[in-house]
């Protein structure tokens, strides 16, 4: 039996997408369930692929089958293809299994020529309408089939409108259109050397080939590569009888949604235009009316339409976005697809459909895009606070943020690495500020609108942004800014509200976004379904509170360096770093210990008996110190100031700094905020000396590649007293709970490990501290010991390392840097955007986990680690832990839990549930040939 290449809509159904394409399968499905679809047929993807294999020849029998089906269409419509009296017109559309930009889309009105034009004019009694149809056919056909520049036609259209002194296309009368059609036909003949194809069969054959060929156009190829769509799928071609909504007042055209796509409410939502075509709706010439008005205007058709709403939803079990045309009172459905919706609507629709027993909970989960959950989660100002903005700009990216003002992206990174929350304040931002965005809580700019760089990037990252705050004046020398009379210096705290576009002094309490009742219900269902644990990265009591509120099952990463940075501690930390002897260093650490203990107590208080993973100090010590550049500036200006104080013989008392350069005055002004009485000569001298000491220390400590430097466990081994202090603080904190009978198990995690001996060495130190606390407090403390897996060598040694620990936690940020040999800060400012643009890398691997490289290494690590210790707990605590596709991947390779920022916890809970429901990515992809 010969291959069947053509399916009438009445022969297909929705599960034939691979063969008929998405559009064809849906048209067939709607036909099958009894909706009124203009008749037509689909030419299969198989035919397309044979055509491509044959280098542009139809497979044998295809054309005959098409002709036969055209005959069937003629029978169904009572019209004739090329029949000059009752001409059958058809549309030709591509339709692959996945919708794909770049492919040929649509040609309407195929079958028109000079002869059938007359027939159409006569049969509709509307010659102008017929001419307009023909004009459109010539234009579309020339563009997509004949490859003639569209502009040539547009220019003629403009010329004729000018000549006739009219503005809109619809004002063209019959004679104008007659003239235009002649002109168009001439253009075609000039450019192709042949007249416009007048035979309907010829038109159809050429159109089919154009659709097939468009599968291989560069934009479509690129899109497929980007989206992992197989080359060999091919596209189908849909040929459908035309219907017209513009044949008179008994015709109309419209777009409908089965529920409100903004709120999710179940209602008859949509718009329509009487006596119009789809294109007219898009062109916005007349304002469409709400569908509900049809009730009075076309009550019979509205009743029919209501049934369509119900039929489509009941059938597709999702909110549908469909197009319809009423031709002479007859309602036709032209297309349907799942409707786009807001995050709120998505959740409401899913929950309502479960309540309506239309779908079950699993289907509800799969219906929501996890990124939509993220959009619900912006912080906002605490409404109980009284807010007095001192500046305002554009609400460029929603949410409220609090942080210390910094003026350079580099500073934002540096301060953030030290654990400070910062707001990046800039005249305007540029692509090379991008690392500053990552490091900031929010962005404030003096210039730029809602589509400025700052606004676009901030929205992309979900960070609050106020842009175009025009009163804002930055003094980069003094490192301060003014809005009106208010001056804010570097390091001063400010609050911005990107939802309102306002700027406030100081720290204003913000509150976490509250999830709607529907969202909470969906997340509960997600929790029932998912097998992956969801923990949070939280280093402060506030973070811990948020984490619990959003349903985190533990803290997977508590960064202890954040605790070193509070204003009451940083001076002690500096003392520690500036120490020349181990004894001095220990003294400073002893002063630091009670602070750290209190932090741990607070966090345990919040987390109760949930697991809390404490990561010992990771960042290089020099990151706590100012930069060489800054210290140089301070030293120069302080020296000048001290000399000036001496020359003025000022020992004490207020000074006005007359005669000192502006720069010096700025620096002294800033330093005065840190040190009182700086104007006293001996105090100024002391401050100068300390700055000199710091400068010399920074000079010694500065590293060529700090990312690969003296940090993490390497610090723990060279300065064991630091880790010991942290462990003591942790166990003393734990002791207070253990004494109360609480089942608390603090987990210790070591960063940057590359070999088992590092772990052994540190473990011995921990045991000693543990024993001391146990003895002094007369209790027993359980020990849970783990390692970050963020150094490639630790992956290679996973089996041996597993012997030493209770858990692994993948640090995918650093691991990604090491696997790619990309420095994130540098890459995102230099080549990475170009790499993404040219699709050398499809994604930014710091945002979406690189499955094939980093992911493969992780899969190997999990396998080797579990081979030695099957009970090994494995988590991931990089930023990827809150990114849906990354969550899907780590679920597949057998990770136990993800840990992410508290605000991503709901996203992660949700994405984890989807991961559990979806067919797991084939492990053979990971373990296969490559």
Rounded distance between C-alpha atoms, residue 27 and residue 191, angstroms: 36
Q: Is the CB of 417 or the CB of 518 nearer to a copy of itself?
A: 417
Catalytic member of 453, 851, 880, 891: 453
What would you report as the CA-atom Rg of the chain, rounded to the nearest whole angstrom? 35
Considering the rule CB under 8 A, would residue 925 count as an interface residue with a copy of itself?
A: no
Q: Pattern 171-210, binding to a copy of itself, x per CB under 8 A?
A: ----------------------------------------
Candidates 752, 787, 899, 914: give the one binding a copy of itself (CB under 8 A): 752
Residue (of 817, 807, 713, 716) closest to 755 by Cα position: 713
Considering the rule CB under 8 A, would residue 269 count as an interface residue with a copy of itself?
A: no
Q: Is the CB of 305 or the CB of 798 nearer to a copy of itself?
A: 798
Record the tokens describing residue 156, joined without a space.
Answer: 């003629």
Q: Coil, helix or strand for 13?
A: coil
Residues 286 to 305: which contact a copy of itself by CB under 8 A?
Answer: none
**Contact present, 139 and 156 (Cβ < 8 Å):** no
Helix axes 628-647, 681-701, angle to 10 degrees: 160
Considering the rule CB under 8 A, would residue 168 count as an interface residue with a copy of itself?
A: no
Long-range pairs for 675-681: beta carbons < 8 A, 24 or more residues apart? 677/652, 679/645, 679/650, 679/652, 679/653, 679/654, 679/655, 680/651, 680/652, 681/642, 681/645, 681/646, 681/650, 681/651, 681/652
Helix boundaries (H) for 284-385: 294-297, 299-316, 343-355, 361-367, 370-375
Catalytic member of 378, 877, 880, 891: 877
Kindly state the smallest distance separating residue 845's Cβ from a copy of itself, in Å. 9
877 counts as catalytic: yes
Q: Is the CB of 239 or the CB of 890 nearer to a copy of itself?
A: 890
CA distances in angstroms from 197 to 108, 134, 194, listed in the order given: 15, 12, 8
Record the tokens describing residue 557, joined without a space.
Answer: 């990463």
Q: Which stretch binds a copy of itself (CB under 8 A): 32-40, 487-495, 812-820, 903-911?
A: 812-820
Candidates 818, 862, 905, 916: give the one binding a copy of itself (CB under 8 A): 818
Kindly state the smallest distance separating residue 629's Cβ from a copy of itself, in Å. 9
Query: 108-145 b/e with 16+ CB inside 10 Å = b?
Result: bbbbbbeebbebbbeebebbbbbbbbbbbbbbbbbbbb
Considering the rule CB under 8 A, would residue 718 count as an interface residue with a copy of itself?
A: yes
Rounded distance between C-alpha atoms, residue 403 and residue 416, angstroms: 10
Between β-strands 897-900 and 533-537, what pairing exists: parallel, antiparallel or unpaired? parallel
Q: Is the CB of 534 or the CB of 857 nearer to a copy of itself?
A: 857
Rounded distance between C-alpha atoms, residue 123 and residue 120, angstroms: 5
Q: Which stretch binds a copy of itself (CB under 8 A): 235-243, 550-558, 700-708, 887-895?
A: 700-708
- Which one-letter DSSP state was computed for residue 167? -
Q: Coil, helix or strand for 776?
A: helix
Q: How far is CA 480 from the centre of its chain?
A: 33
Considering the rule CB under 8 A, would residue 703 count as an interface residue with a copy of itself?
A: yes
Considering the rule CB under 8 A, would residue 717 count as an interface residue with a copy of itself?
A: yes
Q: Is the CB of 382 or the CB of 757 nearer to a copy of itself?
A: 757
Q: Which stretch binds a copy of itself (CB under 8 A): 195-203, 388-396, 520-528, 810-818?
A: 810-818
Considering the rule CB under 8 A, would residue 854 count as an interface residue with a copy of itself?
A: yes
Considering the rule CB under 8 A, would residue 840 count as an interface residue with a copy of itself?
A: yes
Candidates 867, 918, 920, 923: give the one binding a copy of itself (CB under 8 A): 867
**Contact present, 445 and 454 (Cβ < 8 Å):** yes
Considering the rule CB under 8 A, would residue 856 count as an interface residue with a copy of itself?
A: yes
In degrees, rounded to 5, the angle at the alpha carbon of residue 712 between the alpha carbons of residues 710 and 714 is 55
Record the tokens describing residue 513, joined without a space.
Answer: 């976004």
Kindly state the smallest distance separating residue 856's Cβ from a copy of itself, in Å. 5
Considering the rule CB under 8 A, would residue 699 count as an interface residue with a copy of itself?
A: no
Rounded distance between C-alpha atoms, residue 111 and residue 199, angstroms: 8
Rounded distance between C-alpha atoms, residue 893 and residue 862, angstroms: 7
Considering the rule CB under 8 A, would residue 477 count as an interface residue with a copy of itself?
A: no
Considering the rule CB under 8 A, would residue 917 count as an interface residue with a copy of itself?
A: no
Q: Is the CB of 237 or the CB of 422 nearer to a copy of itself?
A: 422
Q: What are phi and psi of 807, to 5 degrees?
A: -150, 155
Candidates 166, 593, 708, 772: give the one binding a copy of itself (CB under 8 A): 708
In degrees, rounded to 5, the angle at the alpha carbon of residue 693 between the alpha carbons of residues 688 and 698 is 120
Q: Which stretch binds a copy of itself (CB under 8 A): 74-82, 474-482, 777-785, 816-824?
A: 816-824
Candidates 55, 388, 649, 838: give the one binding a copy of itself (CB under 8 A): 838
Candidates 149, 852, 918, 922: give the one binding a copy of itself (CB under 8 A): 852
Candidates 460, 868, 918, 922: give the one binding a copy of itself (CB under 8 A): 868
Considering the rule CB under 8 A, would residue 758 count as an interface residue with a copy of itself?
A: yes
Kindly state the smallest distance separating residue 802's Cβ from a copy of itself, in Å. 9
Considering the rule CB under 8 A, would residue 706 count as an interface residue with a copy of itself?
A: yes
Considering the rule CB under 8 A, would residue 862 count as an interface residue with a copy of itself?
A: no
Count interface residues toward a copy of itself (CB under 8 A): 56
Rounded distance between C-alpha atoms, residue 543 and residue 550, angstroms: 11
Candidates 152, 177, 857, 887: give the one binding a copy of itself (CB under 8 A): 857
The enclosing H or E element of 513 equals: none
489 counts as catalytic: no
Q: Is the CB of 9 or the CB of 438 nearer to a copy of itself?
A: 438
Q: Is the CB of 156 or the CB of 755 nearer to a copy of itself?
A: 755
Instruction: Tell me the DSSP string of 812-849.
Output: HHHHHHHHHT--HHHHTTTTHHHHHHTTSSSS-TTTS-
Considering the rule CB under 8 A, would residue 922 count as an interface residue with a copy of itself?
A: no
Q: Is the CB of 697 or the CB of 797 nearer to a copy of itself?
A: 797
Rounded distance between C-alpha atoms, residue 464 and residue 457, angstroms: 10
Considering the rule CB under 8 A, would residue 835 count as an interface residue with a copy of itself?
A: yes
Residue (of 245, 236, 237, 208) closest to 334 by Cα position: 245
Residues 765 to 794: which contact a copy of itself by CB under 8 A?
Answer: 790-793
Residues 432 to 451: which contact a copy of itself by CB under 8 A?
Answer: none
Kindly state the smallest distance separating residue 760's Cβ from a copy of itself, in Å. 9
Considering the rule CB under 8 A, would residue 223 count as an interface residue with a copy of itself?
A: no
Considering the rule CB under 8 A, would residue 714 count as an interface residue with a copy of itself?
A: yes
Considering the rule CB under 8 A, would residue 63 count as an interface residue with a copy of itself?
A: no
Q: How far is CA 135 from the centre of its chain?
A: 43
Rounded distance between C-alpha atoms, residue 127 and residue 120, angstroms: 8
Handedness of CA 527, 533, 537, 543 (dihedral sign): positive
Q: Is the CB of 581 or the CB of 705 nearer to a copy of itself?
A: 705
Rounded distance between C-alpha atoms, residue 167 and residue 655, angstroms: 73
Kindly state the smallest distance separating residue 78's Cβ from a copy of itself, in Å. 55
Kindly state the smallest distance separating residue 140's Cβ from a copy of itself, in Å. 35
Candidates 526, 798, 872, 900: give the one binding a copy of itself (CB under 8 A): 798
In degrees, rounded to 5, the angle at the alpha carbon of residue 832 between the alpha carbons of residues 831 and 838 is 90
Considering the rule CB under 8 A, would residue 720 count as an interface residue with a copy of itself?
A: no
Kindly state the smallest distance separating residue 863's Cβ from a copy of itself, in Å. 11
- Footprint of a copy of itself (CB under 8 A): 703-710, 714, 717-718, 752, 754-755, 757-758, 761, 790-793, 796-800, 814, 817-823, 825-827, 830-831, 834-835, 838-841, 850, 852-854, 856-857, 864, 867-868, 929-930
Active site residues: 453, 877
């Amino acid at each position: 039996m010969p291959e069947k290449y053509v399916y009438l809509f009445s022969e297909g159904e929705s599960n034939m997408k691979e063969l008929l394409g998405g559009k064809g399968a849906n048209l067939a499905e709607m036909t099958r369930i009894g909706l009124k679809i203009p008749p037509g047929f689909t030419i299969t993807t198989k035919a397309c692929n044979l055509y491509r294999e044959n280098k542009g020849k139809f497979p044998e029998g295809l054309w005959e089958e098409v002709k036969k089906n055209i005959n069937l269409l003629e029978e169904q419509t009572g019209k004739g293809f090329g029949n000059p009296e009752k001409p059958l017109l058809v549309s030709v559309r591509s339709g692959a299994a996945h919708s794909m930009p770049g492919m040929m889309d649509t040609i309407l009105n195929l079958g028109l020529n000079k002869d059938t034009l007359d027939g159409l004019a006569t049969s509709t009694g509307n010659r102008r309408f017929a001419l307009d149809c023909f004009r459109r056919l010539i234009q579309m056909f020339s563009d997509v089939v004949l490859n003639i520049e569209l502009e040539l036609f547009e220019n003629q259209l403009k010329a004729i409108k000018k000549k006739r002194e009219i503005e809109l296309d619809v004002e063209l009368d019959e004679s104008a259109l007659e003239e235009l059609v002649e002109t168009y036909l001439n253009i075609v003949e000039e450019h192709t050397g042949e007249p416009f194809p007048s035979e309907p069969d010829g038109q159809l054959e050429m159109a089919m080939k154009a659709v097939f060929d468009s599968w291989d156009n560069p934009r479509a190829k690129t899109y497929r590569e980007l989206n992992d769509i197989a080359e060999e799928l091919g596209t189908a071609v849909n040929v459908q009888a035309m219907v017209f909504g513009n044949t008179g007042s008994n015709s109309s055209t419209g777009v409908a949604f089965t529920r409100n796509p903004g709120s999710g409410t179940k209602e008859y939502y949509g718009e329509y235009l009487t006596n119009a075509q789809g294109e007219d709706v898009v062109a916005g010439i007349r304002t469409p009316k709400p569908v509900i008005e049809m009730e009075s205007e076309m009550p019979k058709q509205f009743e029919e339409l209501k049934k369509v709403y119900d039929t489509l939803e009941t059938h597709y079990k999702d909110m549908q976005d469909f197009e319809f045309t009423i031709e002479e009172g007859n309602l036709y459905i032209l297309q349907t697809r799942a409707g786009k919706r807001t995050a709120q609507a998505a959740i409401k629709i899913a929950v309502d459909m479960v309540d309506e027993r239309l779908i079950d909970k699993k289907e509800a989960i799969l219906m929501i895009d996890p990124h939509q959950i993220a959009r619900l989660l912006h912080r906002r100002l605490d409404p109980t606070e009284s807010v007095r903005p001192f500046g305002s700009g554009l609400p460029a990216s929603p949410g409220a943020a609090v942080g210390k003002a910094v003026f350079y992206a580099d500073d934002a990174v540096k301060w953030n690495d030290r654990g400070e929350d910062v707001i990046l304040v800039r005249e305007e931002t540029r692509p090379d500020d991008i690392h500053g965005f990552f490091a900031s809580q929010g962005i404030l700019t003096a210039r730029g609108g809602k589509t400025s760089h700052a606004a676009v990037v901030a929205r992309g990252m979900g960070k609050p942004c106020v842009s175009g705050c025009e009163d804002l004046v930055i003094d980069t020398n003094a490192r301060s800014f003014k809005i009106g009379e208010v001056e804010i210096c570097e390091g001063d705290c400010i609050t911005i509200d990107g939802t309102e576009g306002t700027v406030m002094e100081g720290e204003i309490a913000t509150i976490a976004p509250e999830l709607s009742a529907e969202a909470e219900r969906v997340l509960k269902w997600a929790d029932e379904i998912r097998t992956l644990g969801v923990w949070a990265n939280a280093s402060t009591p506030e973070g811990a509170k948020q984490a619990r509120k959003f349903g985190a099952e533990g803290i997977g990463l508590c960064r202890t360096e954040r605790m070193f940075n509070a204003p009451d501690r940083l001076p002690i930390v500096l003392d520690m770093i500036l120490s020349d002897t181990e004894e001095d260093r220990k003294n400073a650490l002893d002063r630091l210990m009670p602070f750290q203990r209190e932090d741990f107590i607070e966090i345990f208080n919040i987390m109760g008996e949930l697991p809390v993973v404490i990561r010992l100090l990771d960042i290089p010590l020099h990151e706590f110190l100012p930069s060489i550049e800054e210290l140089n500036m301070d030293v120069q200006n302080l020296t000048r100031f001290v000399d000036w104080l001496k020359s003025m013989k000022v020992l004490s008392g207020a000074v006005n700094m007359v005669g000192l350069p502006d720069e010096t005055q700025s620096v002294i002004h800033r330093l005065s905020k840190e040190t009182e009485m700086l104007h006293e000569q001996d105090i100024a001298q002391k401050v100068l000396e300390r700055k000199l000491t710091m400068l010399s220390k920074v000079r010694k400590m500065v590293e060529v590649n700090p990312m690969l430097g003296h940090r993490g466990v390497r610090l723990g081994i060279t300065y064991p007293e630091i880790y010991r202090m942290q462990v003591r603080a942790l166990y003393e904190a734990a002791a207070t709970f253990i004494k109360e009978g609480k089942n608390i198990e603090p987990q210790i995690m070591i960063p940057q490990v590359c070999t088992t001996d590092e772990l052994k060495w540190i473990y011995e130190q921990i045991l000693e501290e543990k024993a001391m606390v146990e003895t002094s407090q007369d209790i027993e403390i359980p020990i849970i010991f783990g390692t970050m897996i963020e150094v490639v060598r630790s992956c290679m040694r996973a089996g041996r390392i597993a012997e030493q620990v209770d858990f692994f936690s993948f640090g995918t940020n650093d691991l990604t840097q090491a696997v790619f040999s990309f420095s994130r800060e540098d890459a995102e400012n230099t080549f990475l955007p170009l790499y993404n643009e040219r699709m050398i890398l499809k994604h930014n691997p710091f945002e979406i986990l690189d499955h094939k490289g980093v992911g493969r290494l992780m899969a190997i690590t999990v396998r080797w680690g579990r081979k030695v210790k099957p009970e090994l707990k494995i988590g991931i605590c990089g930023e990827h832990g809150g990114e849906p596709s990354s969550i899907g991947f780590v679920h597949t390779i057998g990770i136990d839990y993800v840990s992410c920022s508290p605000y991503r916890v709901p996203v992660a809970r949700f994405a984890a549930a989807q991961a559990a429901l979806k067919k797991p990515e084939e492990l053979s992809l990971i373990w296969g040939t490559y």
